[in-house]
Structure 1
Amino acid sequence: MTTTPHALVTGAQRLAHDLLVPRAERVDQEGVPASHVEAVKRAGLLGVVAPREYGGADAPVSVARETAEILSGACCSTWFVQTQHHTPVKLLATYDSPAREKLLRPLATGELMAGIAFAHVRAFPRVPVRAVPREGGWRFEGKVPWYTGWGLNDVMLLAGVTDTAEVVFVCVEAREQPGLTPSAPMRLAALSAARTVSLELDGLWVPEEAVVLRAPQEEFALIDLPRAANASPAVFGVAYAALDLVARSPDGEETARSLRARLDQVRREAYALADRPAAADSVPERLAVKTRAFDLLRAATTAAIVAGGGRSMALDSRAQRLAREGMFLLVQGQTAEARRTHLGSLASG
Structure 2
Amino acid sequence: MLDTDLSRWLDAEADDLDRGLRDAEEVLPQLAAAGLFGLGVDEHLGGAGGDIRAAVQAIAAVAGHSLTAAFVLWGQRTFIEYLLHTDNAALRERLLGELLSGRLAGATGLSNAMKYLSGIEELGVRAAPSAAGWRLDGRLPWVTNLRRSGFVVAAAVELPGSAPFIAAIPDDLAGLTRSEDLQLLGLQSSNTAALQIDALQLERDWLLAGDARQYLPRVRPGFLGLQCGMTIGLTRRSLQEVESQLAAGRSVLEADWRDLRARLERCVAELEQGLCAGRFLGEPASLFRLRIALAELAGQAVQLELQASGGKAYLQQHGAGFARRLRESAFVPIVTPSLVQLRGELQRQAAGAGA
Q: TM-score range by the shorter chain?
A: 0.7 to 0.9
- Confirm or deny: 8 A CA contact 1:32 1:77 kept in the other structure: no
**Mean alpha-carbon deviation: is it higher for 189-198 or for 253-262?**
253-262
Give secondary structure in 2 for the equivalent of 1:85. Answer: helix
- Confirm or deny: 8 A CA contact 2:27 2:72 kept in the other structure: no
The higher relative CO (CA closer than 8 Å, separation ≥ 6) is in 2
Q: Deviations 1:11-69 (Å, cap 9, x if unpaired)? A: x2424532112221122111453333212111111222333223211223332121111
Superposition deviation, residue 300 in structure 1? 0.4
User: Which 5+ residue runs of structure 2 have no aligned equivalent?
Assistant: 349-355
- Confirm or deny: 8 A CA contact 1:71 1:237 kept in the other structure: yes
Task: Report the equivalent of 1:71.
Answer: 62
Q: How does 1:169-318 map to 2 (within 5 A)?
A: 169-174=166-171, 178-215=174-211, 217-224=212-219, 230=225, 232-249=228-245, 250-252=248-250, 254=254, 255-278=256-279, 282-313=283-314, 317-318=320-321
Task: Report the equivalent of 2:353.
Answer: none
- Confirm or deny: 8 A CA contact 1:77 1:194 kept in the other structure: yes
Task: Report the equivalent of 1:136.
Answer: 132
- The separation in 2 between residues aligned to 1:186 and 1:214, in whole angstroms, is 31
Task: Report the equivalent of 2:151.
Answer: 154
- Confirm or deny: 8 A CA contact 1:136 1:207 kept in the other structure: yes
Superposition deviation, residue 158 in structure 1? 2.8
Letter in 1 for 2:66: C
Which residue of 306, 325, 329 maps to 2:328? 325
Superposition deviation, residue 73 in structure 1? 1.2
Q: How does 1:50-69 map to 2 (within 5 A)?
A: 50-69=41-60
- Confirm or deny: 8 A CA contact 1:66 1:233 kept in the other structure: yes
Residues 308 and 17 of structure 1, relative CA distance in 2, 3 Å threshold:
same
Letter in 2 for 1:223: R
Superposition deviation, residue 101 in structure 1? 2.5
Superposition deviation, residue 228 in structure 1? 5.6
- The separation in 1 between residues aligned to 2:47 and 2:275, in whole angstroms, is 22
- Confirm or deny: 8 A CA contact 1:291 1:341 kept in the other structure: no
- Confirm or deny: 8 A CA contact 1:223 1:278 kept in the other structure: no
Superposition deviation, residue 156 in structure 1? 2.1
Residues 63 and 291 of structure 1, relative CA distance in 2, 3 Å threshold:
same
Task: Report the equivalent of 1:5.
Answer: none
- The separation in 2 between residues aligned to 1:26 and 1:342, in whole angstroms, is 38
Task: Report the equivalent of 2:108.
Answer: 116
Tell me the TM-score normalised to structure 1 length: 0.84
Confirm or deny that 1:167 pairs with 2:164. yes
User: Which 5+ residue runs of structure 1 have no aligned equivalent?
Assistant: 1-8, 345-349
- The separation in 2 between residues aligned to 1:55 and 1:227, in whole angstroms, is 19
- The separation in 2 between residues aligned to 1:256 and 1:119, in whole angstroms, is 33
- The separation in 2 between residues aligned to 1:167 and 1:229, in whole angstroms, is 21
Residues 342 and 247 of structure 1, relative CA distance in 2, 3 Å threshold:
farther
- The separation in 2 between residues aligned to 1:117 and 1:228, in whole angstroms, is 11
Residues 32 and 248 of structure 1, relative CA distance in 2, 3 Å threshold:
farther
Q: Deviations 1:124-143 (Å, cap 9, x if unpaired)? A: 36121112221112221111
Give secondary structure in 1 for the equivalent of 2:17. Answer: helix
Superposition deviation, residue 195 in structure 1? 2.3
Superposition deviation, residue 298 in structure 1? 0.9
Q: CA RMSD in A?
A: 2.7
- The separation in 2 between residues aligned to 1:265 and 1:126, in whole angstroms, is 36
Superposition deviation, residue 266 in structure 1? 2.2
Superposition deviation, residue 224 in structure 1? 4.8
- The separation in 2 between residues aligned to 1:279 and 1:63, in whole angstroms, is 17
Which residue of 14, 19, 23 maps to 2:4? 14
Letter in 2 for 1:286: L
